[in-house]
């Protein structure tokens, strides 16, 4: 919520003009008065409130749930907005999709393309010439070096390092892959695979 309040302030709005609320899907809604000073409302209440404009962001780590909720909200009723911490850094020629959450001390260098509803947690970075898909999650302290492709729904764990590739021969983290915390990725990861360790290897159950 502090990040959302900051993002609204950059749009020259304040909470006298725009109320920020927590929204819970109807199936999981139980009455709460407030959380950290903000009202808690059901999805139905949020989507039916008599307001001139509704915006939303989704702070849920599970990327599949994130996508499901996005797809459940009619665009004529509410549109996504991105949230960035005051000390987030983004340099030249970056293209970041809607609905991003860019936390404290996160960093995007230059010439990157990032898809919709990306989560960049604290101290994570995306270096130059990377392509990041939709609904990707970077846990705290992820180091994604240049020339890397991360496909949709991939999850990169806390403190993981992805070695630098190149635009001609990128390291590719496949669709839905999981990189375990602290892993050091030195080569591409297949879609749906889970890799751990240094160097990162496929986790065999």
Residues labelled catalytic: 128
Nearest to 10 by CA among 64, 74, 61, 86: 86
Phi, psi of 195 (to 5 degrees): -120, 145
Helix ranges, the chain (H): 2-10, 43-48, 63-72
């Amino acid at each position: 919520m502090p990040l959302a309040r900051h993002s609204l302030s950059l749009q020259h709005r304040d909470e006298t003009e725009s109320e920020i609320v927590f929204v819970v899907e109807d199936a999981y809604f139980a009455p709460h008065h407030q959380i950290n000073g903000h009202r808690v409302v059901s999805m139905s209440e949020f989507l039916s409130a008599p307001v001139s404009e509704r915006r939303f962001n989704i702070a849920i780590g599970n990327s599949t749930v994130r996508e499901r909720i996005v797809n459940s909200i009619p665009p004529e009723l509410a549109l996504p907005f991105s949230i960035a911490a005051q000390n987030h850094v983004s340099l030249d020629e970056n293209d970041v999709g809607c609905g991003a959450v860019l936390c404290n001390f996160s960093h995007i260098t230059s010439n990157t393309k990032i898809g919709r509803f990306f989560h960049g947690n604290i101290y994570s970075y995306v270096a130059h010439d990377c392509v990041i898909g939709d609904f990707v999650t970077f846990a705290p302290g992820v180091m994604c070096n240049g020339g890397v492709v991360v496909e949709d729904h991939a999850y990169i764990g806390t403190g993981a390092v992805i070695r630098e590739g190149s635009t001609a021969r990128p390291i590719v983290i496949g669709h839905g892959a999981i990189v375990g915390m602290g892993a050091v990725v030195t080569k591409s990861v297949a879609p749906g695979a889970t890799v751990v360790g240094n160097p990162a290897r496929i986790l065999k159950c």
